[in-house]
């Protein structure tokens, strides 16, 4: 008898559900997962604010005030930190979970529960989620520049996306710098960003919608995050299967 | 009925009574100040300082003449306020009587109004996460004049109906052989509820040249959401073609 293992046949087309993709993406790359989740939260919270502002504004504002009553003036910082903690625990949990074979329904429920909670916090901490996103963005860029595995699935759409993200980041930082947080940390930012302060919000909003149009219209755009995440996890599974066949 | 305030810097003696009264009426705290070359404290508007008196010293080296310019500065209460248009949550409203008021219960501290205002008026407070500015004592108008006007000892600030104030501005302009700022050809922004009558060109006082219409950034903020329509159509077309391709692959 040889030591060959039975490799189950892959289903094609593969199953694409939020839960399956999250499992794959977290198992494959934590940074990529953080990047895509933060981006999604920023997009959702930004869109909710812009489209439903007159209705949700009061709620966002009163949530801020309610939390301020308990934690004082540093609400936004605390909410940001809380968000990071919850998010990191969630990611770690998902990373372990991804190794387990559990019913998809349960994981989907857990995913959605955490996602709704994150969006709720993100609504009044959009700026701080954005600040975290910038850090993850930098790590992500460095990572994809170093590791060929992720770079190889990149398309022109992805590169243009990154350019648009870059503009969103600069204008987002400009908006933050109109007050204190960024300028307190990096005083030279004021001189660099103040010339575009007047145009900051307009560019930020316009580029968000341009990005949505771009993502929706161009092939590989509308579900590019899910598609590339799936592709990465699929490639990983494929290479694992080939490795075990070689043994 | 719309009301307005006439600001006459030539009559201002820089006593800052308006500044103090404003703080008292609005229950605003004093601010820790330091020496600066602004000649006055606090040096500029802030979340807790709605009204500020600018001090400017003009010195002619040839004649050795020195002239002080004292100048009341706060929200202009525009007819078409750019801040209100830019606010995504509708927290800023223009009242029928003239005041432009920030509702802090609704403000989410996004600072879009700070960017949109051509006069650099709305002030953000990072600790509270809110924006605030002069509200022209909307809780007093029209039964009583704004607190700053009531406290002015030299009538450098005068309150009245818009028509009366415009007439007074014209008369005073003729007297000074000067300029009106706030309602000339509906500039700036459709006219303002604080109208200046100046003995020198507005630029001497550092007043910005603002057009009749809203800044270009405001319509971009307001209308860019319409791009969701092509996005939705494009997304739908993409999904349809993707599904068709998948069906064809299955058939094969």
Contacts of B211 in chain A (CB under 8 A): none
Closest CA to A13 of B54, B140, B228, B242: B242
pLDDT at residue A186, rounded to an integer: 72
Q: In percent, how much of chain A has pLDDT > 70?
A: 45
Instruction: Name residues 36-65 of chain A within 8 A of B (Cβ).
Output: 49-51, 53-54, 56-58, 60-62, 64-65
Handedness of CA B136, B141, B147, B152 (dihedral sign): positive
Give the mean pLDDT of A186-191: 75
Contacts of A200 in chain B (CB under 8 A): 115
pTM of this prediction exceeds 0.80: no
Q: How many CB pairs under 8 A join A and B?
A: 123
| Residue B208 in contact with partner chain A when CB distance is under 8 A | no
Residue of chain A nearest B111, judged by CA positions: A175
Q: How confident is the model at residue A237 (pLDDT cuts 50, 70, 90)?
A: low
User: What is the number of helices (H) and of strands (E) in chain B?
Assistant: 7, 10
pLDDT at A245: 64
For residue B86, the cross-strand partners are none
> pLDDT per residue over A191-205, tens digit each?
777 778 788 889 999
> What is residue B85's three-state secondary structure?
helix
Non-local CB neighbours of B153 within 8 Å, separated by 6+ positions: B13, B15, B17
pLDDT band of A8, cuts 50, 70, 90? low
Res A12: pLDDT: 60
**Residue among B217, B236, B243, B249 with most chain A CBs within 10 A, to mutate:** B217
CB A21 within 8 A of CB A218: no
Q: Distance (Å, rounded) from C-alpha B64 to C-alpha A60?
A: 58
- Residue A211: what pLDDT? 86
Per-residue pLDDT of chain B (252 residues; tens, 9 = 90+): 899 999 999 999 999 999 999 999 999 999 888 887 778 888 889 999 999 998 888 888 888 888 888 989 999 999 999 999 999 999 999 999 999 999 988 898 888 898 899 999 999 887 777 899 999 999 998 889 999 999 999 999 999 999 999 999 999 999 999 999 988 777 788 889 999 999 988 888 888 888 888 888 888 988 888 988 888 887 787 777 777 877 888 787
Q: Which of A54, A180, A205 sits opposite B89 (nearest CB)?
A: A54
From chain B, the residues in CB contact with A213 under 8 A are 227, 230-231, 234
Three-state secondary structure call for residue B195: strand
- Report pLDDT for B171: 94
Which pair of tokens denotes residue A62? 């009163």
The ipTM estimated for the assembled molecules is 0.79
Question: Does residue A46 surpass a pLDDT of 90?
Answer: no
- Check if A201 contacts B (Cβ < 8 Å): yes
Q: Do B89 and A60 touch (CB under 8 A)?
A: yes
Interface test with A, best of B45, B107, B110, B114 (most A CBs within 10 A): B110
- Chain A residues closer than 8 Å to B104 by CB: 61
Decide if A239 touches B, using CB distance below 8 A: no
> Are A212 and B228 inside 8 Å of each other by CB?
yes
Best of B123, B208, B225 to disrupt the A interface (most A CBs within 10 Å) is B225
B165 or A57: which carries more pLDDT confidence?
B165
pLDDT of residue A159: 77
Measured between CA atoms, the residue of chain B closest to residue A177 is B111
Cβ pair B127:A73 closer than 8 A: yes
Distance from CA of A199 to the nearest CA of B (A): 6
Q: Measured between CA atoms, how close is A61 to chain B, in angstroms?
A: 5
Is the Cβ pair A202, B230 closer than 8 Å? no
pLDDT band at A176 (very low <50, low <70, confident <90, very high): confident
CA separation (Å) from A181 to A41, A128, B129? 21, 10, 11
A94-123 per-position pLDDT tens digit: 555 555 444 444 555 566 666 676 677 667
**Of B90, B227, B230, which is closest to A54 when you measure between CB atoms?**
B90
- Give the pLDDT confidence score for residue A15 in this predicted structure: 59
B55: Cβ–Cβ under 8 A, 6 or more apart, which residues?
B14, B38, B39, B40, B68, B69, B70, B71
Reported residue count of chain A is 247
pLDDT at B43: 87
What torsion do the CA atoms of A224, A229, A232, A238 make, to the nearest 10 degrees?
-110
Q: Is residue A142 less than 8 Å (CB to CB) from chain B?
A: no
With a CB cutoff of 8 Å and minimum separation 6, the contacts of B232 are A216
Q: Is the CB of residue A234 less than 8 Å from the CB of residue A14? A: yes
> What is d(CA A236, CA A138) in angstroms, rounded to the nearest whole number?
24
Angle made by CA atoms A34, A37, A42, in degrees to the nearest 5: 115
């Amino acid at each position: 008898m040889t030591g060959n293992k039975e490799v189950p046949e892959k289903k094609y087309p593969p199953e694409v559900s939020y839960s399956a993709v999250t499992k794959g993406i977290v198992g494959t790359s934590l940074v990529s997962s953080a990047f895509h989740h933060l981006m999604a939260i920023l997009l959702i919270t930004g869109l909710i604010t812009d489209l439903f502002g007159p209705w949700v504004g009061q709620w966002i504002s009163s949530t801020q005030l309610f939390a301020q009553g308990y934690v004082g003036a540093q609400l936004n910082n605390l909410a940001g930190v809380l968000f990071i903690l919850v998010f990191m625990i969630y990611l770690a949990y998902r990373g372990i979970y991804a190794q387990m074979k559990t019913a998809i329904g349960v994981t989907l429920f857990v995913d959605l529960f955490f996602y709704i909670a994150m969006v709720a916090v993100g609504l009044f901490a959009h700026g701080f989620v954005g600040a975290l996103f910038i850090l993850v963005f930098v790590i992500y860029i460095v990572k994809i520049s170093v590791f060929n595995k992720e770079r190889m699935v990149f398309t022109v759409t992805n590169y243009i996306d990154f350019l648009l993200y870059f503009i969103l980041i600069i204008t987002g930082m400009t908006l933050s710098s109109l007050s204190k947080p960024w300028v307190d940390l990096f005083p030279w930012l004021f001189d660099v960003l103040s010339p575009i302060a007047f145009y900051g919000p307009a560019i930020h909003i316009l580029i968000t919608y341009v990005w949505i149009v771009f993502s929706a219209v161009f092939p590989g755009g509308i579900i590019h995050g899910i598609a590339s995440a799936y592709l990465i996890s699929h490639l990983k599974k494929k290479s694992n299967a080939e490795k075990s066949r070689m043994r | 009925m719309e009301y307005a305030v006439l600001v006459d810097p030539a009559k201002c003696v820089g006593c800052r009574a308006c500044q103090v009264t404003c703080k008292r009426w609005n229950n605003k705290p004093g601010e820790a100040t330091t020496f600066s070359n602004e000649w006055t404290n606090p040096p500029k508007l802030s979340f807790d300082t709605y009204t500020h008196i600018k001090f400017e010293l003009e010195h002619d080296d040839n004649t050795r003449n020195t002239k002080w310019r004292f100048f009341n500065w706060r929200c202009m209460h525009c007819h078409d306020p750019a801040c209100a248009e830019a606010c995504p949550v509708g927290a800023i409203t223009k009242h029928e009587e003239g005041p432009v008021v920030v509702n802090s219960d609704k403000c989410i501290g996004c600072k879009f109004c700070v960017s949109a205002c051509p006069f650099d008026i709305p002030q953000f407070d990072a600790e509270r996460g809110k924006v605030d500015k002069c509200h022209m004592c909307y809780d007093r108008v029209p039964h009583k004049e704004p607190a700053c006007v009531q406290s002015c000892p030299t009538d450098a600030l005068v309150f009245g109906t818009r028509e009366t104030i415009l007439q007074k501005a014209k008369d005073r302009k003729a007297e000074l052989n000067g300029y009106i700022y706030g309602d000339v050809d509906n500039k700036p922004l459709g006219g303002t509820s604080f109208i200046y009558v100046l003995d020198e060109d507005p630029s001497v006082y550092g007043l910005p040249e603002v057009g009749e219409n809203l800044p270009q950034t405001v319509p971009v903020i307001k209308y860019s959401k319409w791009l969701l329509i092509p996005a939705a159509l494009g997304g739908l077309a993409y999904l349809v073609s993707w599904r068709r391709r998948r069906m064809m692959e299955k058939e094969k």
